[in-house]
Amino acid sequence: MVAIPLVRTEGKVFTDGEPTLDAKKFIAETPLQVASRSTKARAAEQAFRLGDCLYFYAGYACPRFGNAVLVYEPTTTSPSGGHATPFDSGGLYLGLIHAQGAENPESRQNYCATALVHLAQWPVEADRFLDSYFDDVDAYVRGERAKSDDPSRRLQHVDNTREAWTWEVRFHDDHPMLQGLLFAVVSADYVAAVRLELLKPGIESTVRNSWLTRLRDGTVHATKAGESPHDDAEQRIIAWIHKQTA
C-alpha cells in the first residue's frame, strides 16, 4: 500500500498581522492550531457539518498557507478523530471545484457527505484512489491530472485544478508540531532566523541542542538560494515514498 505523507504549510498571516509560525514560535514548538483557519474554511465547515478542523493536504505543499512546509507521517492521527475527502472541501463549498452532482450549494453538501472518509480509513481509501486514477504516486504528488475520470467527472473537468483531486485530511484537535514530523522545509533566511533565536540568552540548552540536531540531520531543511520550499518539499515527499516502497 502506498502511504502519502500529510503536509501542512504554515506562516500565513491572520488578523493579528503576524505569521502563524515565525522563527520564535517554531522553536517554541507551537502546536498547529485549529483556530488558524480562514473565514471561508469556517463557512465550509458549517455548511458541510465538518466541525472545527485542522487542515492537511496529502502530499501537496500548498503555497497559499505559508512558506514553512511541515511534512508528517501518513499515519499521524488526532485524539478526537477527523475525516478526509479526495478534494478540498473549501474549494467545493465555494464552487471552485466542478463535478456532476455538485452544481449548487445543496448538492455540494450531499457530494461532500458521500465522499467523507473517517481518519483511520483514509490511507486505505487514498491507496485505492491512486491505484484507480493515477499512473503512479509521483504524478499525484506533482499535482498532475488523473489518467482517467471518476463517475462525477471531477478529476478531468477542464476548469478544475489540483485541489479537485488532492486528499484533504482534517483533524479536530490542535496538533503538537513535532508529533509525527518527518521533515520541514523552509527558506534559508527562515533557517538563519531560527538559528539566531536559538542563540538568544535564556534558551535552554536541551531545546537548542534538539533543534540543532534537527537542522543537522535534515529534519529541518533549508532550500537552496531563491528556490521554493513547496517544490523542494514535494520532491522530498516523492523520495520518501519511494524509500518506503523500495
Minimum distance of other proteins from residue 228's CB (angstroms):
4
Instruction: List binders of other proteins among 227-246 (CB under 8 A).
Output: 227-228, 230-231
| Cα 226 to the center of its chain, rounded Å | 22
User: Residues with Cβ < 8 Å from 37, sequence gap 6 or more?
Assistant: 53, 54, 55
Q: Binding to other proteins by residue 195, rule CB under 8 A? A: yes
Cβ pair 60, 141 in contact under 8 A: yes
Q: Binding to other proteins by residue 198, rule CB under 8 A? A: yes
What residues pair up with 85 in beta bridges, in sequence order?
Answer: 168
Q: Binding to other proteins by residue 226, rule CB under 8 A? A: yes
Dihedral sign, Cα of residue 219, residue 230, residue 21, residue 88: negative
Q: Which three cell numbers stand for residue 125?
A: 481509501
Three-state secondary-structure class, residue 69: strand
| Residue 160 vs residues 28, 40, 144: alpha-carbon distances, Å | 39, 19, 11
Q: Which stretch binds other proteins (CB under 8 A): 114-122, 128-136, 175-183, 214-222?
A: 214-222
Task: Figure out which of the listed residues 1, 13, 120, 239 binds other proteins, where binding follows CB under 8 A.
Answer: 13
Three-state secondary-structure class, residue 93: helix
| Residue 128 vs residues 76, 174, 219: alpha-carbon distances, Å | 19, 28, 30
Minimum distance of other proteins from residue 64's CB (angstroms):
5
Q: Which stretch binds other proteins (CB under 8 A): 62-70, 106-114, 132-140, 176-184?
A: 62-70
Q: Which stretch binds other proteins (CB under 8 A): 78-86, 105-113, 119-127, 189-197?
A: 189-197
Nearest CB to other proteins, comparing residues 10 and 168: 10
What is the arrangement of strands in the sheet containing 220-222, beginning at the earlier edge strand?
117-118, 82-85, 168-171, 54-58, 6-10, 68-72, 181-186, 220-222
What residues pair up with 54 in beta bridges, in sequence order?
Answer: 171
Task: Figure out which of the listed residues 27, 50, 191, 238 binds other proteins, where binding follows CB under 8 A.
Answer: 191
Q: Binding to other proteins by residue 145, rule CB under 8 A? A: no
Task: Figure out which of the listed residues 16, 35, 39, 64 binds other proteins, where binding follows CB under 8 A.
Answer: 64
What residues pair up with 72 in beta bridges, in sequence order?
Answer: 6, 181
- Count of chain residues binding other proteins (CB under 8 A): 41
d(CA 129, CA 177): 28
Q: Binding to other proteins by residue 11, rule CB under 8 A? A: yes
Residue window 19-58: x/- pattern of binding to other proteins, with contact defined by CB under 8 A: x--xx--------------x--------------------
Residues in the site for other proteins, rule: CB under 8 A? 11-14, 19, 22-23, 38, 63-67, 142, 161, 187-193, 195-196, 198-199, 201, 203, 205, 208-209, 212, 215-216, 222, 225-228, 230-231
